[in-house]
Structure 1
Amino acid sequence: MGEVRDARGGAATTPVRVTAIASLTPLEELNDEPFLVDSRSQHAMCARWAAEHGYVIARELLVRGLRPDHCALWDGVRPGVDVFVAPSRRVLEQALSSVEEFTAECARRGVRVEMVGQAEPSYDAQMKARVHRRLSMPTAGYDGR
């Protein structure tokens, strides 16, 4: 399942590569939108999805309002080999300037777009505090644990 088929129908050696898209949402929005702020959890959700499908995470993007034609999205992306995945449409709506234009561009280029589709985690005060510490102290060597 995690391999691309060649023209004769045999398994090719190139694994499906996944670009995980997470939203770059300001820390100030933590109380109202904790999952959108928690990019680590967004990427982890995408990584679990990729592993379940036998795919390999090739890139993790952390973006906000990115244009669908931006080179950061398309650098090295190969039709039929690469897949974009996001935790949800809501995340894509924050990450990209236009989800519709992005999905149209993916279709034009022959690249799939997938949503993990799992429920977002419910954040209590302690979880929000961990996200806040991790994001507010990255240069102090805090690793989020």
Structure 2
Amino acid sequence: MGPVRVTAIASLTPLQELDADPFLVDSRTQHAMCARWAQERGYVVARELVVCALRPDHCVLWDGVRPGVDLFVAPSRRVLESALSSVDDFTAECSRRGVRVETVGGAEPAYDAQMKARVHRRLSMPTAGYDGR
């Protein structure tokens, strides 16, 4: 059946929140945590989602997900609470569909002024090929 495919979930949090909550703004670090977690288990990250208050039944979550084989992972419940409209409804939907949901756990990285500046630069730069849609 092949390796377990992971959908990594990160929160989409406005750059204006960088000083108040840098980890929720830093989706790249969130995805890196998920990738390390998956690699340690021999899993493959198949998709990376960056979402905010997404409904648990939204098709973007479930597109191509194979029950019993695939799983969702997020760095923490806190990230899931930002990314999804209801973590409880999402975990119930995962259970109903036969898909696991996990969190990485562990400590969030510390953000000093330099790290915040790097995140700000990265997120405030235009994306290559962005067409405005």
Q: Classify the TM-score, shorter chain.
A: over 0.9
Instruction: Give the unaligned 5+ runs of structure 1.
Output: 1-12
Q: Which amino acid aligns with 1:15?
A: P
Superposition TM-score, scaled by structure 1 size: 0.87
Superposition TM-score, scaled by structure 2 size: 0.94
Q: Which amino acid aligns with 2:108?
A: E
- What is the aligned-residue RMSD (CA, Å)? 1.2
- Aligned structure 1 segments of 4 or more residues deviating by more than 4 angstroms: none
d(CA) in 2 for partners of 1:92 and 1:27? 18
For 1:14, what is the secondary structure of its paired residue? coil
Q: Which has the higher strand share?
A: 1
> What is the aligned residue count?
129
Change (3 A) 1:118 1:138: farther
Matched, 1:65 2:48: no
Instruction: Give the unaligned 5+ runs of structure 2.
Output: none
Matches within 5 A, 1:9-20: 13-20=1-8
* Deviations 1:11-36 (CA, angstroms, capped at 9, x unpaired): xx421000000000000000010000
Structure scoring higher RCO (CA < 8 A, sep ≥ 6) equals 2
Highest Rg: 1 or 2?
Answer: 1
The aligned counterpart of 1:130 is: 118
Matched, 1:27 2:15: yes
The aligned counterpart of 1:119 is: 107
